[in-house]
Amino acid sequence: MKQLDDTFSLLHAVIHDEELQMKAEMGVEISGQQLMVLNYISKNTETIQRDVVTFLNRKAATVSVLLKNMEANGWIDRKVPDDNSRNKNIYLTKAGNDALILKKWTIFIQSVK
């Protein structure tokens, strides 16, 4: 049991260091809603902005600002497809995926402590 506790402590320390490094590099931390959106996009590859509005049950303008900030942080890309200029497809970037994985690990480690 002690070896398992030591392993979780080491894993927690590594993840904490990664979180601090990410925060230092980006200057931001992921909010709960941003985490939810990153997770949603990772599971729904054909996501458009309206899907996120429905998922979060928020006003379109609120979601637009949220996504704009996430795009500015480099976590997502929003692109207008050639065949439909009214929709914006939303894609998870590598930085967004890395941030999502790191945050999920942090939550997991905190839950087993």
CA distances to 8, 13, 32, 42, 108 from 45, rounded to whole Å, are 32, 32, 20, 6, 24
Q: Above 60 in pLDDT, residue 68?
A: yes
* CA proximity to 64, closest of 54, 49, 79: 49
Q: Above 80 in pLDDT, residue 42?
A: yes
Task: Output the average pLDDT for the chain.
Answer: 80
Average pLDDT in the 16-31 region?
64
Average pLDDT in the 65-70 region?
94
Maximum distance among all Cα pairs of the chain, rounded to whole angstroms: 58
The CATH class of the 2-112 domain is mainly alpha
DSSP string, 28-67: ----HHHHHHHHHHHH-TT-BHHHHHHHHT--HHHHHHHH
Phi, psi of 33 (to 5 degrees): -65, -40
The residue extents of the domains of the chain are 2-112
- pTM of full prediction above 0.85: no
